[in-house]
Amino acid sequence: MMTAEEKYLFDLHGFIVVRNAVPAADVNRMVELCDAWHALPDAKLPPPLRSYDEKSRKPTDPRSINHIEYADEVFQRLVLNVNIMRIVLALTGDCPQLIDTALTRNTRETIDIPFHGGVSGGFHNPANQYQSVGDRCFATFINAATSLVDVPQGSGFVCVPGSHKAHFERPAHITNLSDPPTVVNVCPKAGDTVIFTETLCHGARGWNADGARRTAFIRYCTSYASWTPGHGPMEEHKDKISEEVYELHQVQGHGGGKRVTKRLLKEIEGK
Ligand SMILES: O=C(O)CCC(=O)C(=O)O
């Protein structure tokens, strides 16, 4: 389901950019919701929306609102988007699990996000792995970041391409502000999706333009990963999502076979 070129690039860099993954009408709706929800305190958000770190967040930390797929259909379309799922299915061996969604807003007033991911003392968390085997790339924890705005150079997502396979510790002076070729600033247009393995060393530069950077992050893992039970569907809010999104949220064994996966594969094959 990934082309030879996509596999080459993902394996080499640890990320790829899917251009125009999301239709403009959906992008506009997401921007509208992003601005409306970010104008509200947590207590006023429609349940079960809540900020990732409402209690500990400082005013200058970028705010990330979670569980967005329960609050509007546009985010349910996003988690099932075939342009994105084509890659996610390939990377998870057709055993995907939706574990987390987040809508973030970065402004000139909010700070950058330091590098994280990658190796620590030569150790990759076994729940977060990347391998290339035979003709396949395989990642157990994937982030699909859809930009809702055009991101200018000098702002937004940065990473150390290839660091998903790094064995040695990153020297401390290499930061999210370092220059190419070691550090690359990926600047998507509105509707583009940056798909990366969470083993990639990544972070973000502060927003340096007017308005706000708005991004929808959808995180997937393999459905049999041992650390995910706490990330299953929210049973008390089950009535707010479709059967397919509910199933995508579920833990499942190595055999795969989610109905939603089969439906997506058929749709992708027919394209
Ligand atoms: O804002 C960004 O693009 C960085 C996001 C990030 O570091 C993450 O989701 O782990």
Q: Architecture of 4-43+60-269 per CATH? A: Sandwich (2.60)
Of 160, 144, 109, 139, the C-alpha closest to 215 is: 144
Question: Are 176 and 112 contacting, i.e. CB atoms less than 8 angstroms apart?
Answer: yes
- Prediction pTM value: 0.95
Pocket test for ligand 1, best of 175, 217, 219 (most atoms within 8 A of CB): 217
Query: Cα(first)–Cα(last) distance of the chain, in Å?
Result: 11
Q: What is the pLDDT along the chain (271 residues), one digit of tens a residue?
A: 899 999 999 999 999 999 999 999 999 999 999 999 999 999 999 999 999 887 788 889 899 999 999 999 999 999 999 999 999 999 999 999 999 999 999 999 999 999 988 776 566 666 788 999 999 999 999 999 999 999 999 999 999 999 999 988 899 999 999 999 999 999 999 999 999 999 999 999 999 999 999 999 999 999 987 566 567 889 999 999 999 999 999 988 777 789 999 999 999 998 8
Distance 270 CA to ligand 1 centre (A): 33
Q: Where are the domains of the chain?
A: 4-43+60-269
The secondary element (H helix, E strand) that includes residue 151 is none
Distance 159 CA to ligand 1 centre (A): 10
In sign, the C-alpha dihedral spanning 89, 248, 231, 195 is positive
Distance 271 CA to ligand 1 centre (A): 31
Question: Are 106 and 204 contacting, i.e. CB atoms less than 8 angstroms apart?
Answer: yes
